[in-house]
Amino acid sequence: MYKDKIVLCGASAYEQKYYFNEDFKALPQSVQDELHIMCVMYTTEIGGVLTLEFDEEGELQFRVEALEADAMFDEIGSALRIKQIRKEKQELLEALELYYRVFFLGEDVSLDEE
């Protein structure tokens, strides 16, 4: 069912809008809120368009786009901010990947109990 990239959420500094894929509405509201804040803050600070999408293996990717004419877009700041988000939100991002792999890709991720 989900074999291509699937967008989880995104925000645009150009349209000043946030998008959340309703396929993920079963996520707790606190997680949805955290994603909303994270995406909007990124586009407010850096500019451009940020989307979080799952690739074919279920890994969460940050995709950034900016208009060529956007002189305010901070490309270096973008890479640094994404690195910071990945570090600060590592547990959340890993949990989202696990959620996607189990509920969307149908993987059996049995946890070893010791």
| pLDDT tens string 6-44 | 999 999 999 999 999 999 999 999 999 999 999 999 999
Structure tokens that stand for 81 in this block: 């901010």
Measured in degrees and rounded to the nearest 5, phi and psi for residue 107 equal -75, 145
The answer on pLDDT for 83 being more than 80 is yes
Domains of the chain by residue range: 6-103
CB atoms within 10 A of CB 52: 21
Given this model, what pLDDT does residue 76 score? 94
Question: At residue 26, what is the residue type?
Answer: A
The answer on pLDDT for 82 being more than 80 is yes
Given this model, what pLDDT does residue 110 score? 76
Give the CA dihedral 22, 7, 79, 27, nearest 10 degrees: 40
Given this model, what pLDDT does residue 112 score? 56
Task: Give ∠ CA 74-57-5 in degrees, rounded to 5.
Answer: 55
The answer on pLDDT for 109 being more than 90 is no
| pLDDT tens string 47-80 | 999 999 999 999 999 999 999 999 889 999 999 9
